[in-house]
Amino acid sequence: MYAARADNNQKDITSKLAKIPGLSQFDVHRQPGFCDKIIGYRGINYLIEIKSKNGKLSESQKEFHGNWNGKIHVVYSFEEILIILGILIK
């Protein structure tokens, strides 16, 4: 049985995202290799892989990312998600 483990910053990020008006999120981190979260914001869907500070992609994640014909954002902080969404400017 596959038991996905969420990175230690995922709960905090999920909580902060819930406070953004007009944003929807769905956790999918239990799917082998798939990203941690799908975010919908301003009509665009974002596939987000959340990693802790020194986190690395697992082999199944590397395989999925390599075969996916779309963009998957690997992030290490809430602020990085805000930049991707265009809410925060670098």
Query: What digits encode the pLDDT tens for the residues 64-78?
Result: 999 999 999 999 999
At residue 2, the pLDDT reads 43
Q: Residue 6: pLDDT band by 50, 70, 90 thresholds?
A: confident
Query: What digits encode the pLDDT tens for the residues 9-50?
Result: 999 999 999 999 999 999 998 888 999 999 999 999 999 999
Q: Where are the domains of the chain?
A: 10-85
Residue 5 has pLDDT above 80, yes or no: no
Which long-range CB contacts under 8 A does 81-87 form with residues at least 24 apart? Answer: 81/13, 81/17, 81/39, 81/48, 84/46, 84/48, 85/23, 85/39, 85/41, 85/42, 85/46, 86/42, 87/20
CATH number, span 10-85: 3.40.1350.10
